[in-house]
Amino acid sequence: MTSELSHFAARLRTLIADRDWSPVAAPQRGSDGSNLLGVFPVQFPATGDDPHSDAPFNSLALELFALHFEHNAACRKFSEARGVTPRLVSHWSQIPAVPAAAFKELDLTCLPPARRARVFHSSGTTKHRPGRHFHNEESLGVYEASLWSWFKPHVLSDLRSTAADWEPALLVPPPEQAPHSSLVHMFETVRREVGAPPTAFLGSMANDGSWSVNLEAAHRLLQDACHEARPLVLLGAAFSFVHLLDYLAGHGARLQLPAGSRVMETGGYKGRSRSLPKAELHRLITERLGIPSSRIVCEYGMSELSSQAYDRLVGPAGDSPPHPEPPVCNADFRVGACAGWKTGVTDRRCLAGATSSESPDPDNRRFHFPPWARVQVISPETGGEVAEGETGLIRVFDLANVFSVMAIQTEDLGIRRGDGFELIGRAELSEPRGCSLMAV
Amino acid sequence: MNLPNYFLADLPPEATLSPALLGEACLTLKRNREQYLAARSTDQLVRILCEVAREWLRAESPFRRLALTEGPAMTGFPRTTLERGLNHFFQQFTRENFHALLAQDLGDPRCLDGLCPSANEAGCSRSAMAVGPEFLVHVTAGNLPNPTLMSMTLGLLTRSAQFVKCASGASFLPRLFAHSIYDADRKLGACLELAEWRGGQAALEEVLFAEADCITGTGSDETLAAIRARLPLNTRFLGYGHRVSFGFVAGEVLRDGSSRKVVEAAAEDVVAWNQLGCLSPHVIYVQSGGVVSPEQFAESLAEELEKREAAEPRGELSVASGATIAARRGIYEVRAAHSPETRLWQSKGSTAWTVVFEADPRFQASCLHRFVYVKPAKDLTEVLHNADAVRGKISTVGLAAAEDKAAELARQLARWGVTRVCPLGRMQNPPLTWRHDGRPSLGDLVTWMDWEKS
């Protein structure tokens, strides 16, 4: 039944993996000396014709929608209720976007139950039913190709992509403890790709599902890296960094990690640690780890997607000394979505204050998905795309979601910036059942 | 009209308030009260309040015009919503209604003026006098203006110096009301003060809390608990926490041609103050078995809300609130595509109104701004069973039922813990005598002096 999908997956995987997605033009320099996004190839798949042509992506998108319509019953019912069938769609933007929350209620998958080898959950809490994104070997293959092909040029572009003279430090539990986390799977994929040992995982998961960082081991690793002048690539969720930074502060430790070290952080706090505005988190990382803000990359991803967006790239020119005043990034997006966590908790002030005029530097902290995905910022009022600089709900069209559903309507708010977006936060209380009385 | 700079809330936003400034304001208020307010009679005060209300109801009134022209930008409520809400409120201000309130809460309408004889008890002849707090502080929430205006009104009746601490962004209408009192009687205006700041500014609030005899607070349970924890032991605190409300439509009223009227009444309650008050319905329960099914009722309600939108548009929303509605609609759209137990009606091209029919009878808090649930119920007992999660948190039940059955339903609701039952369509329009959350609002403000003469 899914041979066409398998074929599509294999084709897509090749199209993604057979090409280096590094910037084709020199990265632009931010006012703080950091590397902003370079000029990446946008055409997908690359045909050699007009590099800005949307047509090749569109044709793949329409093909995939037709397959989903045929093989994903939940997706078909949703589209039919909207009165949309593949015959009526000529552009990818017309494909009905399924709310990410629907992953909590429906089996949004083309995989029959027997073939659902893996499942990624959207939430670590037990209070709400988590969203479930089913995978098999083929879909994991696409996920891995997608994540690695976009991670590498953003986080590792100036490093050799095998860890020999540098080391990854993964502030999450190892995969055997957190098999349902898409973020952990992502980090495991990175670990395998760079040839690092499983000991790179510095976290663990408690019985209640909460995550912690093995702080002593992490501290030792940081110290060793300093002594041995070995750059570290630290990957983790924002709250894990808070745990680590608090620990270091408690021990009066202030490290200067070797040049070339960097951080990729993602996601919100969800009460797993105290919440910090993004700029404050980055300031503390600079203060405690000696990593300048220009070498801190934010990632935006979620278990319902197979591709991620990044807000800058760490390049060779980024080895500037720590900036005394790290640039303030977008007000306070303490609820950045992240792979594996759907937080549902939002500070209303951060949303209310989210106007484009408050963004200090429109070029800064702008997220971009890879060329095999498209993003739109949607007006909650009209359902249409907002104008440049306006705020709306982020909608992602991800070709790498081959066996689930391609068009996903998130509950995250962002500001439209060119073909990317600035992240603001999450719409409140979108899950009706069990919502608090405080809604009134 | 240009309002004079008289209250702290009139100061430009860049002006900063200091504890010293507030301390001075408190002393001035108390002094003015002693001089201008303490000795006034209830009749006099009621007369002035009725005069102020008449002014507000007059089309040419500068206060009303300012409220209606600048109100939409300042409060987020469209003009028609403000108009309707303010009319309902000020129409209640009549001498008869004030007397009814005084009689209801205090027994004798004159007992704020002086000693009034109490009912004779065996072997004791007794008189009593009600005394209001010398200095009354209101910490108000931001959603609707009416509760704040009512608190200020009650404080005038009790001859209290009053300080109204408005939530940030919520001082516009209370300020206009205060100016209209000042305009009617400057000396009364001198016993009022208003200021606006974001809650939790301890240094400012300490000053008020130390000076106040009595404090009223509206807001979330957390806000109220935080205030209460900071008050001196002898300061009285009247906290009005958040409440939710629902409607119940009995099957018999949907049997004849009157169902249209019931639908209109339900729409009125959803449209009033854009559903943002504690008295606005989150859910309309409709008894099954009537000629009109709950699902048909929902469809009619959607049509009615569309009509009301044309005449009284909801107005613009923040992107965040709009996104919350859009995200919720998304979930119900998915459910509706997969099951006939959920249906969704919504305004096209906007988030102006939404009706969700759900066969699941559990009470569901709405995200408001004219977003309402319609749910079926076998009877009121089933409704209450399904609203158990919000038991003790219900303010109002809007009831549409046959006259001969309504009293029994009201008794059932009272036993369950509901503090107000009113006809559907009047949920956001309580009378002056309304006992807020089941308590006598005026009666709770006063203390009594009992004089046992013999």
DSSP B191: T
Nearest CB to A81; choose among B282, B323, B336: B336
Is A338 within the bounds of a domain?
Answer: yes
End-to-end CA distance of chain A: 48
Is A84 within the bounds of a domain?
Answer: no
Is A62 within the bounds of a domain?
Answer: no
Count of domains in chain A? Answer: 1
Q: Which of B181, B213, B242 is the last residue of a domain?
A: B242
Chain A residue numbers with beta carbons less than 8 Å from the beta carbon of B362 are 433
Can you tell me the distance from the alpha carbon of B13 to that of A180, in angstroms, rounded to the nearest whole number?
50
Q: What is the arithmetic mean of pLDDT over B107-112?
A: 94
Per-residue pLDDT tens digits for B179-219 = 999 999 999 999 999 999 987 788 999 999 999 999 999 99
Q: Are residues B172 and B278 in the same domain?
A: no
Per-residue pLDDT tens digits for A216-236 = 999 999 999 999 999 999 999
Can you tell me the distance from the alpha carbon of A49 to that of A54, in angstroms, rounded to the nearest whole number?
11
For residue B244, give the chain A residue with the closest CA. Answer: A440
Contacts of B434 (CB under 8 A, 6+ apart): B420, B441
Can you tell me the distance from the alpha carbon of B410 to that of B245, in angstroms, rounded to the nearest whole number?
14
Question: Which strands form B236-241's sheet, in the order they lie side by side?
Answer: B192-196, B161-166, B135-139, B214-219, B236-241
Is A64 within the bounds of a domain?
Answer: no
For residue A428, give the chain B residue with the closest CA. Answer: B324
For residue A80, give the chain B residue with the closest CA. Answer: B337
CATH number reported for the structural domain that contains residue A333 in this entry: 3.40.50.980
Q: What share of chain B is helix, strand, coil (3-state, %, to 5)?
A: 45, 20, 35
Is residue B253 over pLDDT 70?
A: yes
Strands (E), B378-415: 394-400
Is A77 within the bounds of a domain?
Answer: no
Residue matched to tokens 């004219």: B370
Is residue B305 over pLDDT 60?
A: yes
Can you tell me the distance from the alpha carbon of B10 to that of B3, in angstroms, rounded to the nearest whole number?
8
A374 within 8 A of A57, measured Cβ to Cβ: yes
DSSP string, B286-355: EETTSSS-HHHHHHHHHHHHHHHHHHS------HHHHHHHHHHHHHHHHHHHH-TTEEEEE-TTS-S-EE
For residue A433, give the chain B residue with the closest CA. Answer: B364
Is B230 within the bounds of a domain?
Answer: yes
**Among the listed residues A144, A150, A155, the one whose alpha carbon sits nearest the alpha carbon of residue A21:** A150
- For an interface test with A, the pick among B278, B280, B334 (most A C-beta atoms closer than 10 Å) comes out as B334
Q: Are residues B252 and B208 in the same domain?
A: no
Chain A residue numbers with beta carbons less than 8 Å from the beta carbon of B320 are 348, 351-352, 354, 413, 427-428
Is B282 within the bounds of a domain?
Answer: yes
Percent of chain B with pLDDT over 70: 99
Is residue A89 over pLDDT 50?
A: yes
B56 within 8 A of B146, measured Cβ to Cβ: no
Is B439 within the bounds of a domain?
Answer: no
Is residue A138 exposed (0-12), middle (13-18) or buried (19+ Cβ within 10 Å)?
buried
DSSP, collapsed to helix, strand or coil, labels residue B3 as coil
- Which tokens is A340 given? 């594996």
- Helix (H) or strand (E) holding A77, with range, is helix A73-81
**Alpha carbon separation from A422 to A298, A375, A377 (Å, rounded):** 11, 12, 10
Q: What is the arithmetic mean of pLDDT over B156-174?
A: 95
Q: Are residues B358 and B406 in the same domain?
A: yes
Is residue A20 exposed (0-12), middle (13-18) or buried (19+ Cβ within 10 Å)?
exposed
For helices B172-184 and B146-157, what crossing angle results, to 10°? 30
Can you tell me the distance from the alpha carbon of A107 to that of A119, in angstroms, rounded to the nearest whole number?
11
Q: Are residues B320 and B184 in the same domain?
A: no
Q: What is the pLDDT of residue A33?
A: 54
Is residue A335 over pLDDT 50?
A: no
Q: Smallest CA–CA separation between B244 and chain A, in Å?
A: 7
Say which range, A50-54, A88-92, B21-25, B69-73, has the weakest mean pLDDT: A50-54
Chain A residue numbers with beta carbons less than 8 Å from the beta carbon of B243 are 440
Residue type, A90: S
Q: Smallest CA–CA separation between B92 and chain A, in Å?
A: 26
Q: Which of B208, B242, B276 is the last residue of a domain?
A: B242
Is residue A154 over pLDDT 80?
A: yes
A346: confidence class by pLDDT, cuts 50, 70, 90:
very low
Can you tell me the distance from the alpha carbon of B312 to that of A75, in angstroms, rounded to the nearest whole number?
37
Is residue B64 over pLDDT 70?
A: yes
In terms of residue numbers, what domain contains B279? 244-423
Q: What is the pLDDT of residue A437?
A: 33
Can you tell me the distance from the alpha carbon of A284 to that of A207, in angstroms, rounded to the nearest whole number?
30
Q: What is the arithmetic mean of pLDDT over B372-395?
A: 97
Is A392 within the bounds of a domain?
Answer: yes
Can you tell me the distance from the alpha carbon of B54 to that of B48, in angstroms, rounded to the nearest whole number?
10
Residue type, B308: R
Chain B residue numbers with beta carbons less than 8 Å from the beta carbon of A99 are 327, 330-331, 333-334
- For an interface test with B, the pick among A77, A332, A381 (most B C-beta atoms closer than 10 Å) comes out as A381
Is A9 within the bounds of a domain?
Answer: yes
Can you tell me the distance from the alpha carbon of A131 to that of A305, in angstroms, rounded to the nearest whole number?
11
Is B444 within the bounds of a domain?
Answer: no
Is B199 within the bounds of a domain?
Answer: yes
CATH number reported for the structural domain that contains residue B57 in this entry: 3.40.605.10
Decide if B320 and A435 are in contact by the 8 Å CB cutoff: no
Q: Smallest CA–CA separation between A350 and chain B, in Å?
A: 10
Per-residue pLDDT tens digits for A221-275 = 999 999 999 999 999 999 999 999 999 999 999 999 999 999 999 987 777 778 8
Q: What is the arithmetic mean of pLDDT over A408-426?
A: 92
**Among the listed residues B411, B413, B418, the one whose alpha carbon sits nearest the alpha carbon of residue B392:** B418
Is residue B248 over pLDDT 50?
A: yes
Is B441 within the bounds of a domain?
Answer: no
Phi-psi region of A290 (alpha: psi -120 to 50; beta: other; left: phi over 0): left
Q: What is the pLDDT of residue A123?
A: 67
Chain B residue numbers with beta carbons less than 8 Å from the beta carbon of A80 are 337
For residue A434, give the chain B residue with the closest CA. Answer: B364
Can you tell me the distance from the alpha carbon of A331 to that of A144, in angstroms, rounded to the nearest whole number?
32
Percent of chain A with pLDDT over 70: 78
Count of domains in chain B? Answer: 2
Is A335 within the bounds of a domain?
Answer: yes
**Among the listed residues B123, B139, B264, B130, the one whose alpha carbon sits nearest the alpha carbon of residue B200:** B139
Q: Smallest CA–CA separation between A120 and chain B, in Å?
A: 20
Chain B residue numbers with beta carbons less than 8 Å from the beta carbon of A382 are 349-350
Per-residue pLDDT tens digits for B388-424 = 999 999 999 999 999 999 999 999 999 999 999 999 9
Q: Are residues B219 and B259 in the same domain?
A: no
Chain B residue numbers with beta carbons less than 8 Å from the beta carbon of A128 are none
Q: Are residues B302 and B187 in the same domain?
A: no
Nearest CB to B390; choose among A354, A393, A437: A437
Whats the size of chain A, residue-wise?
440
**Among the listed residues B290, B314, B275, the one whose alpha carbon sits nearest the alpha carbon of residue B76:** B314
For residue B367, give the chain A residue with the closest CA. Answer: A439
DSSP, collapsed to helix, strand or coil, labels residue B237 as strand
Can you tell me the distance from the alpha carbon of B275 to that of B342, in angstroms, rounded to the nearest whole number?
22
Q: What is the pLDDT of residue B290?
A: 86
Decide if A105 and B334 are in contact by the 8 Å CB cutoff: yes
Q: Are residues B198 and B250 in the same domain?
A: no
**Among the listed residues B328, B352, B350, B327, the one whose alpha carbon sits nearest the alpha carbon of residue A413:** B327
Q: Are residues B248 and B238 in the same domain?
A: no
Nearest CB to A381; choose among B278, B322, B331: B322
Is B453 within the bounds of a domain?
Answer: no
Can you tell me the distance from the alpha carbon of A412 to that of B26, in angstroms, rounded to the nearest whole number?
45
Q: Are residues B111 and B212 in the same domain?
A: yes
Can you tell me the distance from the alpha carbon of B419 to that of A178, in angstroms, rounded to the nearest whole number?
49
A325: confidence class by pLDDT, cuts 50, 70, 90:
very low
Q: Are residues B274 and B404 in the same domain?
A: yes
In terms of residue numbers, what domain contains A40? 3-55+96-430
Is B148 within the bounds of a domain?
Answer: yes
Q: Are residues B219 and B248 in the same domain?
A: no
Q: Smallest CA–CA separation between A315 and chain B, in Å?
A: 35
Chain A residue numbers with beta carbons less than 8 Å from the beta carbon of B326 are 378, 380-381, 383, 393, 427
Can you tell me the distance from the alpha carbon of A346 to that of A104, in angstroms, rounded to the nearest whole number?
19
For residue A344, give the chain B residue with the closest CA. Answer: B324
- B64-82 burial, b at 16+ Cβ within 10 Å, e below that, comes to bebbbeebbebbbbbebbb
Q: What pairs with residue B374 in β-bridges? A: B284, B357
Q: What is the pLDDT of residue A2?
A: 65
- Which tokens is A22 given? 């590094």
Is residue A350 over pLDDT 90?
A: no
Decide if B320 and A413 are in contact by the 8 Å CB cutoff: yes
Q: Smallest CA–CA separation between B392 and chain A, in Å?
A: 12
Q: Are residues B127 and B79 in the same domain?
A: yes
**Alpha carbon separation from B77 to A189, B285, B325 (Å, rounded):** 52, 27, 17
Q: Smallest CA–CA separation between A381 and chain B, in Å?
A: 4
Nearest CB to B393; choose among A391, A435, A437: A437
Please count the residue pairs, one from chain A and one from chain B, whose beta carbons lie less than 8 angstroms apart.
Answer: 113
Decide if B319 and A438 are in contact by the 8 Å CB cutoff: no
Q: What is the pLDDT of residue A209?
A: 87
Nearest CB to B330; choose among A80, A99, A391: A99
DSSP, collapsed to helix, strand or coil, labels residue B1 as coil
- For an interface test with A, the pick among B240, B328, B368 (most A C-beta atoms closer than 10 Å) comes out as B328
Decide if A101 and B390 are in contact by the 8 Å CB cutoff: no
Q: What is the pLDDT of residue B1?
A: 73
Q: Smallest CA–CA separation between A192 and chain B, in Å?
A: 37
Q: Which of B227, B242, B257 is the last residue of a domain?
A: B242
Chain A residue numbers with beta carbons less than 8 Å from the beta carbon of B337 are 77-78, 80-82
Can you tell me the distance from the alpha carbon of B125 to that of A302, in angstroms, rounded to the nearest whole number?
76
- A164-196 burial, b at 16+ Cβ within 10 Å, e below that, comes to eebbbbbbbbbbeebebbbbbbbbbbbbebbeb
This model of the complex carries an ipTM of 0.89
Decide if B327 and A98 are in contact by the 8 Å CB cutoff: no
Q: Smallest CA–CA separation between B30 and chain A, in Å?
A: 35
DSSP string, A197-218: -GGGB-EEE-TTS-EEE-HHHH
CATH number reported for the structural domain that contains residue B280 in this entry: 3.40.309.10
- Which tokens is B276 given? 């943002």
